[in-house]
A and B are shown apart, each in its own frame.
Chain A
Amino acid sequence: MDLLTALLGNLAQGFVVAMTPVNLGLCLVGCLLGTLVGVLPGIGPTATIAMLMPITFYLEPTGALIMLAGVFYGSQYGGSTTAILVNLPGESSSVVTCIDGHAMARQGRAGAALAIAALASLFAGTVTTLAIAIGGPAIASVALLFQSPDYVAVMVLGLVAAIVLAHGSLVKAMAMIVLGVFVGLIGTDVTTGEQRFTFGIDDLFDGVGFVPVAMGLFGLSEIMLNLESRAQDGGLARLRDRLWPSRDDFRRATPATVRGTLLGIVMGILPGGGSTIPSFASYSMEKKLARDPLRFGQGAVEGVAGPEAANNAGAQAGFIPMLALGIPPNAIMALLVGALMIHGIQPGPQIIARQPELFWGLVVSMWIGNLMLVVLNLPLIGLWVRLLQMPYRYLYPAIIVFCCVGVYSLRNSMMEVVFMAVAGVAGYVLRKLGCEPAPLLLGLILGPMLEENFRRSLSVSGGDYMIFLQRPISATLLAAAVLLLAFVLLPGVRHQRERLRDD
């Protein structure tokens, strides 16, 4: 009872802070900007927050954080828009949304997909906000239970699950994962500082970025394929009678949303988790759980709802370790730590006690922001869908220009644009060969993290491989990976998949 009273008191304080006209305005500005950068491919929240940092010098710290946070979770909403409409992930976390979201759009159900994405995000945002409010510090301590061997187990499970991502040939899916891991090897070796496969090119020292590869593999190759098929102008948006999801859509999407949210919260608080990996994980899980996994890739609504909930939950859960531990789990949170430090606030374990108005104001503003985003996004759906009827000769050059600007802004470097172009051509060739890009991207994210943590585990254990089986978390996860692998390789499942491919 006391806990509840305390919680209500805290939330009340949060509402007082978040509902001031200035902070409401900043929240709205942040959400609007976030939606915009989310919709624009390539321009991500990291670059936007970096650009906005100087402006926040002039704001109160709470207001500054409210606005910057709005940009981040707002972009998670916006990112799904282009993914669904033109198969171009607006954010890296909406890569998986492309798969079934765009398939839905091709069937004339773009409106339903967009609405499901927005509502799933709202649900995830609300639950995550509550989770932060109730158990922020307790949840944060979970992150401290994870050590390198446990990460290795998470990655192994993730890579095995990645096979499930694909809806065609198993062999090709595995080949794509391995290719992704190989591309991930490029760059500076974390353990020794040695350069690998960089050929003396400075821009390769930090490895090949995820965003340019995702833009190229999905967006550019999609454009090439469409041009080749000489599809009718505006043929993408064959509008059917309704923009709103059907009752059946809701029935299928609801459990997926709940699962995606939980997955997002758990993975979002882990370092390096962010919002991308949870979205992949959620997709794999939904496909695995579905009674008829064959629908995935053909416009399954669960494949939109789950990942969209997961990426929004993951984005917001990242605030937990940043605020409660003072340890930013990803690049964006590191930026926000910087923004707070400019104002003389050092995030850390004591921030909730010392700056309650900042913490609770932010928590409440995140919920208000999520609400704003849905109110903002639902009426826009009709407009977005209409945008697709724009003739290709205007639409495609515009998309390519935005992609180039966005990818350039990642590091203010032309090389990123070149990487995107190369990835675009590669994506075209791969898709012609019947290979899907999603497993490749997952390999690219997980491969380097797997290697880094694997070698670190062995450094820590003095070369003893048993470390992976001695820790309960890693042992459990590895066992799950083995079971999953066995299941995937079962003859029955394989035959079913191959039959599908031959159809």
Chain B
Amino acid sequence: MPIQTLVAGALPAIVAALAIFLQPVCAAQPVWPSKPVRLIVPQSSGGSTDLVARPLAQQLSAALGQTVLVDNRPGAGSVIGTEIVARAAPDGHTLLAIAASFTATPALHPKLSFDSERDFAPITVLSAFPNLLVVHPSLPVKSVQDLLALARAKPGMLNYGTSGAATGTHMSMERFMQMTGTRLVHVPYKGGAPSVQALVANEVQVNMATISTALPQVRAGRLRALASTGARRSTVLPELPTVAEAGVPGFEYASWTGLLAPARTPRPVIDRLHAEAVRAVNSPDLKALLAIEGAEPVGSTPAQFAAQIRLEIVRWTQLVKAAGIRAD
């Protein structure tokens, strides 16, 4: 990294640090933020949400004149960290950066201590990324149609790997099977990396893997990508059709990362955070980072985000009932 970038990168942090020290001296300070803001990431450091949250926190720190601290609270499929935000004071000093599993959680854990709709004020969807439908190269299928033909000819013969029961990779595959009337055997792994490794090793034949884990293997020719799962083609693999284009009209699955605050956080605070977050995800730095992951910036409005959450909760609840998935 050239030295200019280094300085430019360090500058916001220094400004933020100075701001903390100078704060008592400044007479006319805004009501919010009056102290460092905690951005809870209910995932371990280095996970896909964390990778977006950290540069976001850095840019928000510079924009708000207050340090935004990333606080990793992993555990129980994001439930533990989410709960902390649900119970936090709605004063804009506690925020939540979360993955798409947020909307699947209510369907899977009926006894949650919080209400995923009522207890949160959505701010914006930060980024969205499709999954990739990948198969082992030895499998004699070159397209989604080939795969469907093989799966229909020999029901229950093909195995598909996932990052775990009731994760996005599982849910998207369940929906795929539901819409195509096929049956493949579910083989869950503990996380995305082992599931992709098992596919490379040909222990399972199919995976609807997150794009960031599957992409390097596809590029190295160790896996064959059949389609991406989003509504539009992926910008990193523009030649690859979507599942809908390839013969399953209406199929769409996109994972996302979103920013939320506790419910009843004041409107002006939400609006300010929305504006700053949208600006941050569209900055060249974050855009470039997202591109490596195969993700794209979104920046939807709070109302759009709220509608999306409502829709997805309904959809996952129906799917979970139909497929008989349980996590509780």
A326-B217 contact given A53-B46, A203-B80, A460-B187, CB 8 Å threshold = yes
A459-B217 contact given A205-B75, A206-B75, CB 8 Å threshold = no
State A458–B197 Cα separation when bound (angstroms): 18
Whether the Cβ atoms of A338 and B47 lie closer than 8 Å is yes
Size of chain B's interface in residues, with CB distance under 8 A?
62
- Which chain B residues numbered 127 to 158 have a C-beta less than 8 Å away from chain A? 156
Residues of A within 8 A of B186 (CB): 459
- Which chain A residues numbered 37 to 76 have a C-beta less than 8 Å away from chain B? 49-51, 53-54, 57-60
In the complex, whether B296 has a CB less than 8 A from a CB of chain A is no
What 4 A-B pairs are tightest by C-beta distance, nearest first? A348-B216, A338-B46, A193-B165, A50-B45
Max chain B CB contacts within 10 Å: which of A193, A336, A343, A412? A193
Residues of B within 8 A of A271 (CB): 193-194, 197
- Which chain A residues numbered 138 to 168 have a C-beta less than 8 Å away from chain B? 143-148
Residues of B within 8 A of A476 (CB): none
Whether the Cβ atoms of A200 and B111 lie closer than 8 Å is yes
Q: Please, what's the 1-or-0 string for A178-214, where 1 marks a CB less than 8 Å from any CB in chain B?
A: 0000000000111111110000101101100000000
State A462–B167 Cα separation when bound (angstroms): 23
Q: Which of A125-133, A234-242, A251-259, A327-335 contacts B (4 or more CB under 8 A)?
A: A327-335
List, sorted by A's number, 6 A–B pairs whose CB atoms are closer than 8 Å: A54-B58, A57-B58, A193-B188, A321-B197, A338-B47, A347-B216
Residue from B44, B288, B326 in contact with A194 in the complex, judged by beta carbons closer than 8 Å: B326
Max chain A CB contacts within 10 Å: which of B1, B6, B215, B325? B1
Whether the Cβ atoms of A190 and B51 lie closer than 8 Å is no
Residues of A within 8 A of B289 (CB): 341-342, 344
Residues of A within 8 A of B185 (CB): 459-460, 462
In the complex, whether B311 has a CB less than 8 A from a CB of chain A is no
Residues of A within 8 A of B204 (CB): 460
Closest approach, in angstroms, between the C-beta of A413 and any C-beta of chain B? 7
Whether the Cβ atoms of A328 and B10 lie closer than 8 Å is no
State A343–B288 Cα separation when bound (angstroms): 10
Q: Which of B66-74, B226-234, B271-279 contacts A (4 or more CB under 8 A)?
A: B66-74
Residues of A within 8 A of B89 (CB): none
Whether the Cβ atoms of B327 and A194 lie closer than 8 Å is yes
Residues of A within 8 A of B328 (CB): 193-195
Whether the Cβ atoms of B159 and A460 lie closer than 8 Å is yes
Whether the Cβ atoms of B72 and A350 lie closer than 8 Å is no
Residues of A within 8 A of B189 (CB): 190, 456
In the complex, whether A411 has a CB less than 8 A from a CB of chain B is yes
Nearest B-chain residue to A195, judged by Cβ? B328
A327-B193 contact given A53-B54, A348-B220, CB 8 Å threshold = yes
